[in-house]
Amino acid sequence: MIPVQKALKLLDHNIQPLGTERVGIGNSIGRILAEDIIADSDLPPFNRSQMDGYAVRSRDTRHAPVTLKIVGESAAGRGWHKDLKRGEAIRIMTGAPVPAGADAVEKIELTKEYDSLVSFIDPVAKGQFIIEKGKEIRLGEVVIAAGRRVTPEMIATPAAFGYSKIKVAKQPTVTIIPTGAEIVGIGKKPKRDQIRDSNSISLASLSANSVASVYVGASVGDDLEQLGNAIDSAAKVSDIVVTTGGVSVGKYDLTKRAMASIGARIIFDKVALRPGKPTVFARRGKKYFFGLPGNPVSAAVTFLLFVRRAIMLMQSATDPAMQRGFAVLNSPLRGTKSRDVYFPARLASSADGKLIAVPLPWIGSSDLVSFANAEALVIVPKLTTFNEGDVADVLFL
């Protein structure tokens, strides 16, 4: 049995990136960026007005109140391309280029226009309401670094710099194989000694959320040869094969043997973790195999810790780990003698803004209801007891 951190390091050492491809930016949402986005121009590309008003030479307003002559107009897409001279002003719109010679903008509410003249009550400060050329980004600078996940909020940026296509990491393909004679489909009524297959839909959703293409294979019974064939067939069309169930030490726990039978090398097969101790990771070339426990919470937690990390590593993600933080506990928690425990918890905020973890009632690795209401996992290291008010590591779900 190995510590969680050692298991994660073994993953990091074994998982290899899949490579890259170019896609249209409209199809890149959720993908992992595989190139730096470089500015092909300054942004803004010209001195830009922040207000509707008048562009002026600030020194012409030094002795305000003053009146200046309106000689033109600058609007977005229709700039004024003459130099502004002494005693002159131009009407200007928000987002429009500030003409040469002008070094300030006064908003329209603080002026009075009549005929072709505009009056200023107060002096206008140099630089007022102007975003200077290149203030946001300079030509040649990295705008977005490779390794980040493309989001809707991000997508306008490469478009602004002329990227109609961007290079992204290839998406891994994941096949999930439920195992065990007790498994029936979620649309069927279980008979005595049977349970519905809740793991497949859970892990398929987690796979899709981790930027992977996912397939769910047919359930495989307690047969070593049949399981080996199913895993081998899945590996021909997938980068990662995930099985659920059959990873403990019972008579019908066949997953590790099935993986070995198709030539996969077992990297680890027990992790000092609760829930999720009987987790298997194996490799055959650039194909990766995970045997996860059959209990639903164990399967979900080990997927998030290990399989999700592998998916992100295959895409060269900047941070493949789950999002992590600290929270103050509102009740005591006790670890075990030999394993770290990951307790499901809700999150709240204290009056002074601190993050509070509220551990949920939890009866074990089959407690789906508790996990469904969790927002985080509180990590309690082995041989550790936390008291109310202690600060603990949490993984955000």
Which tens digit of pLDDT belongs to each residue from 159-172?
999 999 999 999 99
Q: How many beta carbons lie within 10 A of that of residue 7, not counting itself?
A: 23
* Domains of the chain in sequence order: 4-19+170-315 (3.40.980.10), 20-43+136-169 (3.90.105.10), 48-131 (2.170.190.11), 324-396 (2.40.340.10)
pLDDT value at residue 253: 67
Residues 6+ apart with CB under 8 A from 266: 256, 259, 260, 280, 281, 282
Q: What is the pLDDT of residues 87-146, one digit of tens each?
A: 999 999 999 999 999 999 999 999 999 999 999 999 999 999 999 999 999 999 999 999
Burial degree of 248 (CB within 10 A; 0-12, 13-18, 19+): middle
Q: What is the pLDDT of residues 260-290, one digit of tens each?
A: 999 999 999 999 999 999 999 999 999 999 9
In three-state form (DSSP H/G/I as H, E/B as E, the rest C), the secondary structure along 295-328 is: CHHHHHHHHHHHHHHHHHHHCCCCCCCCCEEEEE
From CA 62, how far away is CA 64, in angstroms rounded?
6
pLDDT value at residue 21: 97
pLDDT value at residue 249: 55
- Residue 278 has which token pair? 């009987």
Q: What is the pLDDT of residues 201-258, one digit of tens each?
A: 888 888 888 878 899 888 888 888 999 999 999 999 999 999 998 665 555 568 899 9
pTM: 0.83
